[in-house]
Structure formats: C-alpha cells, structure tokens
Amino acid sequence: MSGHWGILVSDPWLQNQFTQVELRSLKSHFMSMRRESGRLVIADLASKMSRLKVVGENLSEEERASCVKDVYQNTEEEVDFELFLKVYLKLQTFVNSRTGSSPKNSSAFLKAATTTLLHTISESEKASYVAHINHYLAQDEFLKKYLPIDPSTNELFEIAKDGVLLCKLINVAVPGTIDERAINTKRILNPWERNENHTLCLNSAKAIGCTVVNIGTQDFIEGRRHLVLGVISQIIKIQLLADLDLKKTPQLLELLDDSKDMEEFMNLPPEKILLRWMNFHLKKAGYKKIVTNFSSDVKDAEAYAHLLNVLAPEHTNLSTLAVKNPFERAKLVLEHADKMGCKRYLTARDIVEGSPNLNLAFVAHIFQHRNGLSAQTKQQMSLLETFPDDTQDSREERAFRLWMNSFGNSTYINNVFEDLRNGWVLLETLDKVSPGIVNWKIANKPPIKMPFRKVENCNQVVKIGKQLKFSLVNVAGNDIVQGNKKLILAYLWQLMRYNILQLLKNLRFYSRGKEINDADILEWANSKVSSSRSQSRMDSFKDKSLSDGIFFLELLSSVTPRAVNWGLVTKGVTYQEKKMNATYIISIARKLGCSIFLLPEDITEVNPKMILTLTASIMSWCLKHPHEERTVGTSDNESGGQLETTSNSTLDDSASDSSLDENGNI
C-alpha cells in the first residue's frame, strides 16, 4: 500500500478481515486512544472502544470488559495495533451472535457511512433512496436515460460509479453547491474523469455537512455499497431537513412558548426541531407521550395516527387507533399518508421495526408537505425583524463548523456557539491540527454535568491557543462556556489559519521548514498568475477587484492548464456574472482536490478570511503535485476540464490524524 500509512498490519489473516479504508479508520482511533493516556493496555479497551460504532452502541462497557477478560487474562498487557484489531474482531463477533449479524442503526445518517465495519446495507433503505432519486432526478437531461433505477437490483451502485448521479443529488439537496459545468458528463468516462467527478462529489458533500472522513474516490469507483448508500442517506437527510429553519419557515415561531426562547430555538439541530414540531401537534391531539426519537417511540404507529389526524382530519379513519396490532395500524397510517400525498420513504414493516433513518425521512416529508402551522402573523414578523442580521457571522460560523466536522470528531457540530461550549470538540480539533498538543489526562470527556469541568476544558483550549501564538487578549475559558460569539469566531479563525499555514510549512521542499505567512501565499499566487503571462494581480486578500473571480480562474488555469473552459467564463461585471464565476471557481478547485468551505458570496463580496483559505488550498494542492503528468480531456458538456492523474487514494487517507496534511483539508 502506498502513502504515509505503509503496511498497516503484517498478519495476512488480519489483512483479509478489513479493507484498507477500514484499517486506516481503526488505526486513527487506535492512535487517538493511545495518545490520550500515553499508553494503551487491555484494561483500557472496554471503555475506550465505546467510540467505535458497532461495538460501542451494541455492547455495554461491562459486556465489553467481560468479553475481553474471557480471552485476555493479563489486563496490563500493552496493546499494539494488531492486538487492538483482534480484540475488535472478538467484540464484533459477540455483537453478531447477539443481533443476528446486523447491528442496531447500522446505517445511521451521520455515522454509519464512515464508521461501521459490517458491510451490510438495509434493502428497505436502498429502495427508499432509489425512489427518492427516481423522483427528484427524473427530468435531469443527462440522467434520465438511466432512470428510473430498479430498487430490487444493485443498479444504483453501478450508475453511481461515474460520479455524476451523486453530484446531481448534492445539487438537489443544496441547490447551487456544484457548478454543473464542472462535472464530466461524457457518455463513457475514462478513469481520470471519473476520479475528478468523485473528488468533486466528496469535497462538495463535506461542504454541505456530510461526514465522509474515511471514504475515498476508489470506494465509489468500486461501488462499495455500504459507503455509497451512507453518503446518499446523508445527502437526502440534508435535503429533507432544509426547511426546519426559522428563516425559511418563520411559522415555526408558533412552537415557542416565549419569545425569549428564540435564540435557543435557532441553535437547535433540525432533527430536534422536527421532534418539537411533532410533539406540538401531538399535544393538540391529546396524545400523552413525548416522542424523543424516530425509532422506539413510533414503533406502535400510535403517534403517527394522532399526528395525521391533526394535520389531515378529512382523511381520519377511526379504526386506525382501534386496532390492536401495530403492523395493521402502521398500514392504516400509511393509507392516511397516501391520501395526503405523503406515502414515501417507508413501509409498515419499517415503522414497526423502528427504522430511524426512514422514520425521520417520513416525518420530514410530512413537514414539507403539510406542517399544520398557522400563517405568518405580524407579531412573528416583527419578532424576526428584531433579531440581529448577522449574515457575515452566519457564513463564517458555517465555514468553521463544516471545517471542524470534516475532521471526523466524536461529536457532529450543528452550531459552533452551542456545541463547542464544553471544550471537548475544540480539544479534539486542536489535537488533529497539532498532534500531541492536548493534555488528555486533565481533559473532561462528555457528558459533563459540572460547569467547572467545562471551564477546565476551555481553559486548556485557551492555554493551547496562546501556546500557538493566537491573539487572545483578555480571553478566558469561561467566555467559550458562555457561548461568546465574537470570541469563538475569532478563536476558530485563528485555528483554521494556523492549520492552513502548518499544511504549507509541512511541504518541506517548498518551505524548507521556515514559517509560512499570509504574504508568502499572496506572493506565490501573484507569481503563479504572472508566469502564465497574465496581467491580473491581487494586491491583498481584501482587494475588491477579486470580486469578478477572474484572478482565481487565471490562478487555477496556471496551476492546471485547461482546468478552466474560458468559453464558460463571464466578464464579471454584473452581480449575476460575478456569482457565476465564483460558483465555477469553487467547483473547479474542489474537482482538483481542494477541500474548501466558502460560498460564492465570499468571493463576490471579497471576504478576506475565506479568500485566504481558497488561495492557500489551491497553493497546497499545487505544491503537492509539482511534476504530475496530466492528461487533457473534454466532456460532452464541453467543460474543458483538465484531467490530472492523481491517485485514487487522494481522499482515502482522510481517516488518519495526519491525513489533513495529505489532503489540503482547510
């Protein structure tokens, strides 16, 4: 195996138990566990393996400890990676014997695609996602010759192998994420064109909030079903939950008991808002229970019966609540939903089996179709108007959040102002950016009940920031615990910038070990553009002339000849022309392999922070591919995209702590 991982295990039997992607993921976990306490012994594994999805969610700590002790008597024996794998396999076998091979929630939206090691997929979920794709992409000019997909076959995974379908699905979920002019859409793609599409897809998936930390382009090319389906499920979830936002659906204010709750409500993840909406209507229906999840709490279908009776009383069937059999009740619920135009995503069997993904999708679809909330009132309008317009802060919060989530930390961040307050994810991110810098012996792992423990974590965050020479005058750990927005954004920007500069510094042949600063990045970009005989120049990262995007198109063109199809570039005079250029720039950069989190508006409005991240990411990619032989190809859509012969493992290494150095993940 190539790359900085070398041969992960020497035991041939162990090599055959895992794919390389899985080995890298487990190696990353192993290294992280060992760093936390300096050494790892058998006695530590029962507790520390709780973070591994299959054995963590299906076994209690006592069960893990008992299972390990049965096989390994010397609990003080130091654990190397091969022993770690053997213990993992032992626990996994125990899980399989108890569950009949399929672990609970085996394809959970955010984690299964990246952490489950049992290569099973839910046929019901596959059928549901295929139906979603057939519906939303039916009119796509390129894909309609392949649709509808037959859900009873593996046709989905074959069609996904060229990368076009997943790119198009991302644009359905978050319109405008990918400039479709950058997608290679020839009828038959060569390996480099395929690789480019998958690179564009993975970097764009990260940019809308998907977790793809140990998934690579080769997984899509080989059609690894559990990984492909995991990414598809995340994309669909993002689409279905998009309207659960006060700015998009102001009527959600009706769920608030008190206007003082508004800020807290805006910080809730969309799944929590969906549950709150559901319980709001269930309370009106006289349903006594509180629904807290989309699995066990809806298995008997009673909550659904009450919900649909409130939302569509004209289709009420009195026998739905009268029947004793949950499966029969579930069938009647779906008949009711069908009359509302909402019978999508699940079957009666999925309800009674408590499929969390499909139940969530079903409820989200009902919300989109008929939310049952009152029309927007003047009071609600005035309340929204009093809320501060922090568009710039919101965009930066989004960029920092997506960047941190791309590391594959233990907790998925929905809102940096809320989810970082205990300090743990910040410590994890610091450890990824600067391995070994965190003193895990004094860190407090969630759940943390005592406030002073959170302060302890955040004090270490601030201390490390000062160690890394961040500007943190009069900043204390308690400011993070209190959710001080200005200070949190300032800290995260300095952390992201430090990561950027370290990535460039680590390219020794360029930096020769010296510190890299903003001026070096500026000078490199200007020199690169100048070498292609262009007159364009960037005076600073605040240079307003950058808003038309021409400089960055010329930079990308100088980095990879013919990466840009100049026939598709506008003059960048009007706002619409500037935005078209900006969208094209971001898609080309991601297609090359740059992991970036800015929006087109960050270019058109010249946000200096995001302009720096874009320039540095292009620089990092270019310096890592200095002598790469590149093949030029043209797609049917005349994208004129430069096809570079990058290894298919470009993103595969992202499971490791040091993979950020490999991928320019900034």
Helix/strand/coil (H, E, C) string of 63-105? Answer: HHHHHHHHHCCCCCCECCHHHHHHHHHHHHHHHHHHHCCCCCC
Q: Give percent of the chain with pLDDT exceeding 90.
A: 55
Which pLDDT band, with edges at 50, 70 and 90, does 100 fall under? very low
- Is 12-99 a CATH 3.40.50 domain? no
What pLDDT, on the 0 to 100 scale, is given for residue 555? 96
491-520 residue pLDDT tens? 999 999 999 998 888 776 666 667 889 999
Out of 71-75, 387-391, 466-470, 551-555, pick the least confident.
387-391
Sequential DSSP letters for 196-219? HHHHHHHHHHHHHT---TT--HHH
Looking at the structure, give the CATH architecture of the domain made up of residues 123-241: Orthogonal Bundle (1.10)
CATH topology of domain 391-506: Actin-binding Protein, T-fimbrin; domain 1 (1.10.418)
Out of 233-242, 509-518, 582-591, 605-614, pick the least confident.
509-518
Rounded Cα distance between 638 and 643, Å, is 13
What pLDDT, on the 0 to 100 scale, is given for residue 4? 37
Highest mean pLDDT among 61-75, 362-376, 478-492 belongs to 478-492
CATH topology of domain 250-383: Actin-binding Protein, T-fimbrin; domain 1 (1.10.418)
- Residue 8, pLDDT > 90, answer no
* C-alpha dist (Å) from residue 633 to 47, 196, 242, 522: 52, 11, 36, 31
Domains 12-99 and 250-383 in one fold: no
* C-alpha dist (Å) from residue 606 to 54, 137, 552, 598, 613: 45, 34, 12, 11, 12
What pLDDT, on the 0 to 100 scale, is given for residue 187? 82
What pLDDT, on the 0 to 100 scale, is given for residue 362? 96
Helix/strand/coil (H, E, C) string of 368-434? Answer: HHCCCCCCCCHHHHHHHHHCCCCHHHHHHHHHHHHHHHCCCCCCCCCCHHHHCCCCHHHHHHHHHHC
Question: In CATH, what class is 523-624?
Answer: mainly alpha
What pLDDT, on the 0 to 100 scale, is given for residue 246? 82
Instruction: Name the residue ranges covered by the structural domains of the chain.
Output: 12-99, 123-241, 250-383, 391-506, 523-624
**Closest Cα to residue 629, out of 641, 647, 615?**
647
Residue 430: Cβ within 10 Å count = 22
What pLDDT, on the 0 to 100 scale, is given for residue 640? 37
Q: Give percent of the chain with pLDDT exceeding 70.
A: 83
340-379 residue pLDDT tens? 988 788 999 999 999 999 999 999 999 999 999 987 666 6
What pLDDT, on the 0 to 100 scale, is given for residue 641? 36
Residues 6+ apart with CB under 8 A from 650: 195, 199, 216, 217, 593, 663
DSSP H or E stretch at residue 632:
strand 630-632
419-437 residue pLDDT tens? 999 999 999 999 999 999 9
Relative to beta strand 630-632, strand 642-644 is: antiparallel
Backbone φ, ψ for residue 665 (5° rounding)? -80, 80
- Residue 536, pLDDT > 70, answer yes
594-646 residue pLDDT tens? 999 999 999 999 999 999 999 999 999 998 877 543 433 333 343 333 323 23
Which pLDDT band, with edges at 50, 70 and 90, does 380 fall under? low
**Does the global pTM surpass 0.75?**
yes
- Residue 657, pLDDT > 80, answer no
What pLDDT, on the 0 to 100 scale, is given for residue 569? 94
What pLDDT, on the 0 to 100 scale, is given for residue 376? 64
Tokens of 383: 């309340």
Tokens of 84: 């770690």
